[in-house]
Structure 1
Amino acid sequence: MAERRNDPQVYPLSQSYNYSTDFNVKRDEESAFRKQDEIHRNYNASLNVTRDEGSDSIESDEIRRKKRLKFLAYFVAFVVFQTGVIVLFSLTVMKIKTPKFRVRSITFDHFEVRTAPNPSFNFIASVEVGVKNKNFGTYKFQESKMYFSYDGMPIGEAFVPDGKAGWLSTKKLKNLATVLLSNNLPSNSQLGNDLNSGVLKLNAQSQLSGKVTLTFMFKKKKSTNLNCNITIGLADKAVREIDCN
């Protein structure tokens, strides 16, 4: 009987696992993930930059718009202010007003009154007049005469010299001598009654011609009139009232 041999059974060897290849694959995958993550972050960053740039651009446009509006507001305010100044200047400074010519006072150096038999009066007086200039420029006037009357009849006159009234001031002309006589009055006048009443009313009229000069360049002719009613108290030999129109 043949001897049975116990030879060991031979199994085929399985293929060995390649660890190096698997490591490389994982490394590549991780690298790819990192690249994708980096790309994603860069994309988000670029979006943020774009948003910031857009926001900055909008803010810059808004700032420029506000500056333009502010400049326009300043310009309009300046134009309105200049217009107001010009209008105010035209209505005040450049508007030429007529000077006022008035009798300021009268004093008597000689005072004589008769009531009978022939009513009469004889006055030697010193008159002070004023030329009030309300303009922002000088008023230069020529010489003139002032005429006195009683009941519309002339009784005397006074010489008014030339002169100049400064801007916004009054030029006073003093000691204008005059003689007031009733010799030329008609016999049927009311003089006797007025003298007996103790009050005598006279009238003074005159006119000045001259020029107003503004800012040393603009000149305009201006005439001013004097028309004053004078009330004289015969008892106290003085002027009681001067009323000028």
Structure 2
Amino acid sequence: MEDVTLDDIFISIKTSEKFHQTRIVHIMKTWFNLAKKQTYIFTDGDDVQLNHTANGHLVNTHCGTGRGYSNLGCKMGTEYDTFLSTGKKWWCRFDDDNYVNPTRLLEVIKGFNWTSDIYVGRLSVDYLHTDYQGKTYCYQFAQGGAGCCISRPLALKMKPWCGREALVNTQNQAAMSDDCALGFIITALLKVDIILSDFFHSDYENLTSINPNTFYKQVSLGWSNTNKIDLNNGSQSKVFNEEQDPSRFYSLHCMLYPSTDFCK
């Protein structure tokens, strides 16, 4: 089997224009620089400066700014459609409050056979039930705030229920959010089990419980104003105060990549 490189991974970030300066800015100054060619930002407004910084990889989905099923599903469906158009082997999607370590992402992804049906991520709940087209289904889903990865063969099988318009239809019929809908399509309709990973993290879990000495092993780490990683590990790398580094992304980046200019 041919070796997988970072160029084989399509990385998408879902955001909103209102978060460009409070969330996306931290991504652009840290981990985006390790995966500029592979990472695309899906949002709901134009931003000339951000698009320039992102090497033209800012996508205004024109899906609307609300958090209803139709707006969020339209965005994720656009991510999906764009991934398919690239021909890449993997779709790895994250939210705008995730620090992603592209080096570690590649290491983890290389542990799977991309030609198989692979759906890897982290659960937030064990099982959910929903009614869809007259039947009751049990399903699982990878928590969207932690991110997930889907292999191309599996993504192609999702096409009847996914995509910019189809995903919204699926959500509305099954009455569920966009990340739930992905899991529903995969685990209930296609009957492909999720592969659980402890390397994807969102702010839905207690981030302070993650040992800082294991940060280098993690694929993604989330943040919120009230839930942030603990950097007290005795590291010799540069640690910024919280006013300078509210997300803790800069301090984390310096821990993982100390040769970065702003870490010296």
Same fold (TM over 0.5): no
TM-score, scaled relative to structure 1: 0.20
- Say which structure is richer in helix: 2
TM-score, scaled relative to structure 2: 0.19
